[in-house]
Amino acid sequence: MADSPPRLYLFHGSDEYSSHLELKRFKAKLGDAAIVALNTTVLEGMRVAPQDLVAACNAMPFLSDRRLVVVTGLAPRLAPPKPASRENAARLKKTPADQSLSSFLTAFLPDLPDWTRLVFLEEEPLKADHPLVRLVQDNHGYIKEFPLRKEAELTPWILDQVKERGGRITPQAAAALGAFVGPNLRLLTQEIDKLLTAVGGARPVEAEDVEAMVSYAREVDVFSLVDALAYRQGTKALRTLHRLLEEGEHPMALLIMITRHFRQLLQVKELSAKGASPDQIAETLRMHPFVAKKSAEQARSFSLEQLEGILHRLLAADATIKTGRMSELLSLDLLVAELTAP
């Protein structure tokens, strides 16, 4: 039927928070959350084999009339970006397997089962002529782009988010928060929650609160990178690393920040093992209480031996760069790959 809902979807754009929220809403429309979870398969686009995608899409739904398959980050395999340097040119070069994947999708997507909803989720904007965009269009799919919000849109968005949470914030504080963090809505929501927790509902969040707490926003980016390393999320770690580089961070400065962070985690781990509370850790290491609390949580993801091993690898990477045996960018990429290897 012409008005039947599409079976194929593409959510793309730099505002990954909104695209993931859209996916969450989409899943909610499919029915009971527990049943939807039983009938949902998430595949990593950079690794998925055609036969695995076929199996996931063709599987009959269980206790439901719908099955959801989400493929994340497939776009680079169909049209790799231009290499940023000679070192990673070979890594991004299209292979025969990737070319065959494009041919496979062209043949398979028209025969997607009626019960399957296939969602391609891309955290980068795709041009209109991108092969994945054309594939979805050719198969009458639904495409929605999620661009980063403009600076003027951030203050009202922050005010709405605070109101939804039952909190209060001054317009000046909302403007300061938007200016400081920028259009990263996921980070903004995290900072909003922290600020509201800090004031405890006793008063509105003021600009001074934003300055005190969000001055650690860059540190939060490093926390995010370290979280990805801890959970072996190689794609997320590389994406965070390269976003920081694109935002102007120098590779060596990043390496120093990461090394300092892991050294702090080792100190926090040792103090936690002795029974120290986050407040005691903050006082001993002269850290902001927020950073101490987050570090204590993060340190639980590592053993002492793991932290010592990671520090050894970081120092080795520093030596490799300084002796000229490897470029800064390649060394960081390989370091992330090594630390997130299964």
**CATH number, domain containing residue 182:** 1.10.8.60
Sheet holding 142-145, edge to edge: 40-44, 67-72, 116-122, 8-12, 142-145
Q: Are residues 265 and 158 in the same domain?
A: no
Q: Are residues 71 and 161 in the same domain?
A: no
pLDDT one-digit tens code per residue, 52-91: 999 999 999 999 999 999 999 999 899 855 544 444 444 4
The per-residue pLDDT for 99 is 64
The per-residue pLDDT for 285 is 86
The per-residue pLDDT for 86 is 43
> Structural domain of residue 165, as residue ranges?
151-215
Q: Are residues 282 and 196 in the same domain?
A: no
Q: Are residues 31 and 68 in the same domain?
A: yes
Backbone angles phi, psi at 41, to 5 degrees: -125, 130
164: helix, coil or strand? helix
- Whether 2 maps to a domain, the answer reads no
pTM across the whole model = 0.59
Q: Are residues 261 and 290 in the same domain?
A: yes
Closest CA to 153 of 181, 173, 183: 183
pLDDT range class, residue 167, cuts 50, 70, 90:
very high
298 vs 39, more confident: 39
Backbone angles phi, psi at 121, to 5 degrees: -115, 115
Q: Are residues 271 and 293 in the same domain?
A: yes
- Whether 1 maps to a domain, the answer reads no
The per-residue pLDDT for 85 is 40
- Supply the DSSP symbol for 87: T
The per-residue pLDDT for 164 is 96
The per-residue pLDDT for 217 is 55
The per-residue pLDDT for 214 is 60
Q: Are residues 186 and 172 in the same domain?
A: yes
Q: Are residues 34 and 137 in the same domain?
A: yes
Q: Which of 32-46, 109-123, 274-288 bottoms out in mean pLDDT, i.e. has the lowest?
A: 274-288
Which structure tokens are listed for 54?
Answer: 């076929």
pLDDT one-digit tens code per residue, 192-215: 998 999 898 889 999 988 877 765
21 vs 323, more confident: 21
The per-residue pLDDT for 246 is 81
